[in-house]
Amino acid sequence: MIVTTAALFKVAYGKFAVGAYNINNMEQALGLFQGHMEAEAPFIIQISKGARKYAGIPMIEAIIRAAEKLYPDVIYAVHLDHGDEQTCYDCIDSGFYSSVMIDASHEPFDENVAITRRVVERAHAKGISVEAELGMLGGVEENIAVDEKHAMLTDPDEAKTFVEQTGCDSLAVAIGTSHGAYKFTGHQSLHFDRIEAIQNLLPNYPLVMHGSSSVPQEEVERINAAGGALDPSARGVDANEFQRAAQLGVTKVNIDTDGRLVWTRVHREYFHDKPAEFDFRKPGTVFVAEYAKFIVDKSERLGSVGKLAETRAGVS
């Protein structure tokens, strides 16, 4: 059942985080739905501009609808990830999306406000909620000064003003994470002091954490042992910190890179071990099972495992 993102946030806020996963193909959809059924966890499917281009807009929507026929009991929202203004309008008008993200974080503050406000007006007229972004989402490297690190994080006062001026329903904040496999040099913690400061000014307001993949070292090592050439210094977010962040208002946790690593590990190992094989359905089947397992593990870390009944009661 597709529900509004706002309804999921209402159930989850302060208690657990909802995993938001990007999908691009059928195998990811199968693993995503199967894993969430097993975990009994609600979730958010994210579609990026790149995914809309790769699969084609009707195809990506049809894949999701078909997956729901196979797993009719799951509860999820459909979200546009990192949209520009026009793509937000296209998704709002399509009637398929529960929420859109307008990413104008690269613009100066006032321009970000103006663009986000326009999208909020169009989205709210159709009952769709809007995620916006404020701050510089970037790898916070160990070798830069503490002051410099803090300057890259979302400023709590600015966040409050931004939300008041735009009316956006959730905010992606820079709290020490970045996209992709190369987030940090060495282990780093989320900036809990900053999350708490934002929550103090925006109580009961859902925050979003982008760049939340963990980039497990074992995954990187297995990919490289099977012929890959990923930089072994790749590091990600410690998934054991998700629940503490959730208690401080981080209600949506975006994960894409880790799923790509599962795909790459499964396919590299399969064809490395069976070089004469060319039936792609065989590694595809392995991937669906491994991806479902991965989703169960993430749901445990997010605290969303076993929350399906509570979510069903909360959204109906």
- Binding positions for Zn ion, rule: CB under 5 A: 210, 254
Q: Is 81 a catalytic residue?
A: yes
Per CB under 6 A, 81 contacts ligand 13P: yes
Residue 294 · residue 262 · CB < 8 Å: yes
Per CB under 6 A, 188 contacts ligand G3H: no
Lay out the site mask for ligand 13P across 12-51 (x = CB under 6 A, - = otherwise).
Answer: ----------x-----------------------------
Output 41 or 308, the one with its CB closest to ligand 13P: 41
Name residue 202's amino acid: L
> From Zn ion, ligand 13P, ligand G3H, none, which one binds at residue 255 (CB under 5 to 8 Å depending on kind)?
ligand 13P
* Contact window for ligand 13P (CB under 6 A) among 204-212, 227-235, 270-278, 288-296: 204-212
The DSSP secondary-structure symbol of 73 reads T
Of the residues 17, 23, 29, 51, which one makes contact with ligand G3H according to CB under 6 A: 51
CA 225 to CA 207: how far, in whole Å? 38
Lookup: tokens for 97: 């999306």
3-state secondary structure 220-284: HHHHHHCCCCCCCCCECCCHHHHHHHHHCCEEEEEECHHHHHHHHHHHHHHHHHCCCCCCCHHHH
> From ligand 13P, ligand G3H, Zn ion, none, which one binds at residue 212 (CB under 5 to 8 Å depending on kind)?
ligand 13P
* Contact window for ligand G3H (CB under 6 A) among 13-21, 48-56, 167-175, 228-236: 48-56
CA 212 to CA 141: how far, in whole Å? 16
Residue in 81, 155, 169, 258 annotated catalytic: 81
* Beta strands per DSSP E along the chain: 18-22, 43-48, 76-83, 99-102, 129-134, 170-173, 207-209, 250-255
Output 134 or 308, the one with its CB closest to ligand 13P: 134
Euclidean distance between the first and the last CA atom of the chain, given in angstroms as a whole number: 11
Output 257 or 304, the one with its CB closest to ligand G3H: 257
Of the residues 14, 138, 167, 180, which one makes contact with ligand 13P according to CB under 6 A: 180
Lay out the site mask for ligand G3H across 54-83 (x = CB under 6 A, - = otherwise).
Answer: ---------------------------xx-
Per CB under 6 A, 124 contacts ligand G3H: no
Lookup: tokens for 173: 């904040």
CA 212 to CA 190: how far, in whole Å? 10
User: If DSSP codes are grouped into helix, strand and coil, which group holds residue 127?
Assistant: coil
Output 15 or 179, the one with its CB closest to ligand G3H: 179
* Contact window for ligand 13P (CB under 6 A) among 37-45, 88-96, 250-258, 302-310: 250-258
Residue 49 · residue 90 · CB < 8 Å: no
Per CB under 6 A, 216 contacts ligand 13P: no
Helix-helix angle 57-70:26-39, to 10 degrees: 30
CA 273 to CA 226: how far, in whole Å? 8
* Contact window for ligand G3H (CB under 6 A) among 1-9, 44-52, 83-91, 163-171: 44-52
**Shortest separation between residue 99's beta carbon and ligand 13P, angstroms:** 13
Residue 133 · residue 101 · CB < 8 Å: yes
Positions annotated as catalytic residues are 81
Residues contributing to the site for ligand G3H (CB under 6 A)? 22, 48, 50-51, 81-82, 179, 256
